[in-house]
């Protein structure tokens, strides 16, 4: 999409960003719930994933608005991005990235990734990191990152239920 502009977060878009976050992750979390141990999912999302996701994104918007960028298409919210810097590691982190489900596969995610990389490079960092889950719901995200040249760091995270 050629009419995409990426602008600093504006609180006037707060409700739209929260709605977009829930719409984006609804089909993903359906798969996640089926593929992770139930005690882990239940611990992370005791009131449901949407309540936790909304609270986490709201906290980012309210507490770190300078780290959030909006992708607009024709003046309408199309996606958003959260970036954090970790100077000790010379690393910028794409903390969160989302594209409206009905606008996916149109280059908006790629534009947000490229914007993040430029911003992180301009901040003097030498690498960028983005993290996602290994379940099937997050497979499209992993493919996007890999197609953009990101290399996977094989991390294993184990959970054990304590009784």
Contacts (Cβ under 8 Å, ≥6 apart) of 70: 6, 7, 8, 9, 10, 13, 17, 77, 79, 80, 81
CATH code reported for the domain at 4-147: 3.40.630.30
Residue among 1, 28, 20 nearest 100 (CA): 20
Radius of gyration (Cα) for the chain, nearest Å?
16
Provide the pLDDT for residue 123: 97
pLDDT in tens, the chain (163 residues): 558 999 999 999 999 999 999 999 999 888 889 898 999 999 999 999 999 999 999 999 999 999 999 999 988 999 999 999 999 999 999 999 999 999 988 889 999 999 999 999 999 999 999 988 777 778 888 888 888 888 888 777 787 788 8
Domain range summary for the chain, segments of one domain joined by +: 4-147
Provide the pLDDT for residue 153: 85
For residue 45, how many C-alpha atoms fall within 13 Å in the half-sphere facing its CB?
15
């Amino acid at each position: 999409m050629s009419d995409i502009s990426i602008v600093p977060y504006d609180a006037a878009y707060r409700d739209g960003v929260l709605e977009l976050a829930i719409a984006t992750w609804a089909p993903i979390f359906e798969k996640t719930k089926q593929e992770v141990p139930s005690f882990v999912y239940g611990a992370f999302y005791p009131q449901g994933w949407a309540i936790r996701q909304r609270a986490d994104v709201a906290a980012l918007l309210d507490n770190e608005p300078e780290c959030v960028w909006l992708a607009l298409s024709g003046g309408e919210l199309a996606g958003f991005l959260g970036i954090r810097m970790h100077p000790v590691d010379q690393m910028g982190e794409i903390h969160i990235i989302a594209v409206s489900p009905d606008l996916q596969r149109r280059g908006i995610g790629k534009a947000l990734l490229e914007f993040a990389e430029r911003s992180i490079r301009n901040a003097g960092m030498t690498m960028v990191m983005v993290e996602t889950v290994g379940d099937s719901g997050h497979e499209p995200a992993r493919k996007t990152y890999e197609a953009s040249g990101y290399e996977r760091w094989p991390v294993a995270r184990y959970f054990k239920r304590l009784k």
